[in-house]
Amino acid sequence: MAASGRLEGELKELIERLVREFEEEEELKDGLVALARRIIKASGDAVVAIHRGEEGEAAKLVEEAEALVEEALSLAEKCPEYLHTGPLPQALKEYVEARLLKSLREGSRLPRPDELKVPIKPYVYGLAEVAGEVKRLMVEAMRQDRLEEAEQWLESLESLYMALRRLEAYRGALPGIKGAVDQVRKALEPSRSDLALTSQGQRLRLELRRFEEELRKRG
């Protein structure tokens, strides 16, 4: 009986400790989920602001996302597996995308993974995602007849594709990288012909304008 009573007490203490640990882990997970949502929102809003040319707003949102990422990474130190599972990797990818797009828009050096303090995998996926935003910048420049700028964005898109292709060899360590690179290729393939057609259209408009001016002078 004494042994049975001791065992019961030991089990009670053990289970209470396990319950506390599980509750702490659930609390940690809930905190990371909330932070991940805020990171995704701030990063997405920053991308929108960058496309709108709202540099001050973009900088503010990127700073907000950076602070949230630091908080999330600090929290994840208590349970490192959440760096690779759950919503945090997606949030980090969105943050990387916003940071890289901001640097590309400003013409500054791309920040490295260690500078952003993020794991390599979400950095790579963010690098692949930013290609789509570069294509959007190119299309917008074409729409406004800023063809020199559009050409620069096309060159950036080509550089991204060539760089990402080298990582396809590591698809075992980077699940989904082949699909991500394929998406970049699909964005790139029609871009040069689109730019060539837009450039040709611009030249035709200029020639037509000169022709009309000549007619007015003669009339």
Per-residue pLDDT for 192 more than 80? no
* Residue 130 pLDDT: 96
The whole-number average pLDDT for the span 162-175 is 93
DSSP letters spanning the chain = -HHHHHHHHHHHHHHHHHHHHHHHHHHHHHHHHHHHHHHHHHHHHHHHHHHHT-HHHHHHHHHHHHHHHHHHHHHHTTSGGGGTSTTHHHHHHHHHHHHHHHHHHHTPPPPPHHHHT--HHHHHHHHHHHHHHHHHHHHHHHHTT-HHHHHHHHHHHHHHHHHHHGGGGGTTTSTTHHHHHHHHHHHHTTHHHHHHHHHHHHHHHHHHHHHHHHHHHH-
Percent of the chain at pLDDT exceeding 90: 57
191 falls in which pLDDT band (50, 70, 90)? confident
**pLDDT over 70 (residue 15):** yes
93-103 per-position pLDDT tens digit:
999 999 999 99
Higher-confidence residue of 208 and 110: namely 110
